[in-house]
Amino acid sequence: MLRFTEMFNGAGFAVDVYGARKYSTPFQEIMLLETEAFGKILVLDGAVQTTDRDEFVYHEMIVHVPLLTLGRKPEKILVIGGGDGGTVREVLKHDPERVDMVEIDREVVELCKREFPEISSGLSDERVSIYYEDGREFVRDKENEYDAIIVDCSDPTGPSAVLFSKDFYEDVKRALKEDGVFVTQSESPFAQRKEFLMIVSNLTKVFSTVRPYLVFIPSYPSGMWSFTFASNGKDPLTVSPEELSERIKDVVRRTSSKFKYYNLEIHYGAFAIPNFIIDEFKK
Ligand code: SAM
């Protein structure tokens, strides 16, 4: 049995791997690992993207925080990246009329449909259109079109680098409806401090409300991960708990499913930022 420690250095523990397959695509190196601790793991360019056991944290938190803040039935949602399908699976719980997913690498989607059937289950929904192209280019000519835009991409190296710039965020703002909501994965404030600060700073130049929030993802570097919400009309912290509670109940009732991570307390609590990060914002 192979002991695979490299990618878990940040999280501080090693995982036994009993299967490993590697593929090269024009965009990145894909690795699929089989482990006891996390089930199957999707790794892109050496970075863990998705695991069977803890994917629910990432996918629930990147989707339900912004969409329950939006507070109305979304007509059209754009997901950039997200090739494993987990974000689309959660987005569909909000009963959108249409979901566009723009994924640069078709091979990620095909592999995930085969290897992660539950996570990718929403990708075959008739409301979902998948475009295999660069998300940066896709948003350039869009205007006032989406209720929500979700950037579910990999680290700001490789093909995702273009998805974190101020210019990209300007295009995102134009592609959103006036009160639309945006969220991006924004790296680990602990393990990727500079990248996290750069993302928040670039968003602040474009949106009036920018709110980073934190989640606990065991398989990710350091375990501490962040998303950043941005909007020019909505704020996740000004929705009243009574109203939010109704919105949550409505999704649970309609989908006959339960959230495994997200709840009312987590919605507000995730925005509590530790002092060492606040100090970085002040620099
Ligand atoms: N949960 C993950 C994480 O942050 O660790 C992200 C998962 S998802 C698999 C990331 C996807 O973003 C990859 O499949 C990758 O191909 C896609 N991607 C990277 N750059 C992109 C771009 N410029 N446009 C569209 N998709 C992109």
Q: What is the pLDDT of residues 54-105, one digit of tens each?
A: 999 999 999 999 999 999 999 999 999 999 999 999 999 999 999 999 999 9
Q: For the chain, how many structural domains are there in total?
A: 2
Q: Are residues 61 and 31 in the same domain?
A: no
Q: What is the CATH number of the domain that holds 34?
A: 2.30.140.10
Atom of ligand 1 nearest to the CA of 82: 8
Q: What is the CATH number of the domain that holds 206?
A: 3.40.50.150
Percent of the chain whose predicted confidence (pLDDT) is above 70: 95
How does DSSP classify residue 247? H
Show the tokens assigned to 108. 């990620």
Distance from the alpha carbon of residue 49 to the mean position of ligand 1, in angstroms: 8
Q: What is the value of ipTM here, to two decimals?
A: 0.97
279 among known catalytic residues = no
How does DSSP classify residue 83? T
* Domain span at 6: 2-51
Residue-wise pLDDT for 145-179, tens only, equals: 999 999 999 999 888 999 999 999 999 999 999 99
How does DSSP classify residue 236? T
Asked if pLDDT for residue 6 goes beyond 80, the answer is no
Q: Are residues 155 and 34 in the same domain?
A: no
Show the tokens assigned to 252. 């649970």
Q: Are residues 12 and 82 in the same domain?
A: no
Q: Are residues 31 and 62 in the same domain?
A: no
Lowest-pLDDT range of 29-43, 56-70, 196-210: 29-43
Per-residue pLDDT band at 13 (split at 50, 70, 90) = low
Atom of ligand 1 nearest to the CA of 105: 16
171 is known to lie in a ligand binding site:
no
Q: What is the pTM of this model?
A: 0.95
Distance from the alpha carbon of residue 242 to the mean position of ligand 1, in angstroms: 35
Q: Are residues 20 and 115 in the same domain?
A: no
Nearest CA, atom 17, ligand 1 = 81
Q: Are residues 134 and 10 in the same domain?
A: no
Q: Are residues 198 and 268 in the same domain?
A: yes
Last residue in a domain, options 10, 31, 51 = 51
Q: Are residues 265 and 167 in the same domain?
A: yes
Q: Are residues 37 and 141 in the same domain?
A: no
Alpha-carbon distance of 194 to 17, in angstroms, equals 31
Among 180, 203, 173, which residue's Cα sits nearest to residue 96? 180
Q: Are residues 139 and 14 in the same domain?
A: no
179 is known to lie in a ligand binding site:
no
Q: Are residues 10 and 91 in the same domain?
A: no
Among 137, 140, 138, which residue's Cα sits nearest to residue 129? 138
Q: What's the confidence (pLDDT) of residue 3? A: 45
Q: Are residues 215 and 178 in the same domain?
A: yes
Nearest CA, atom 9, ligand 1 = 83
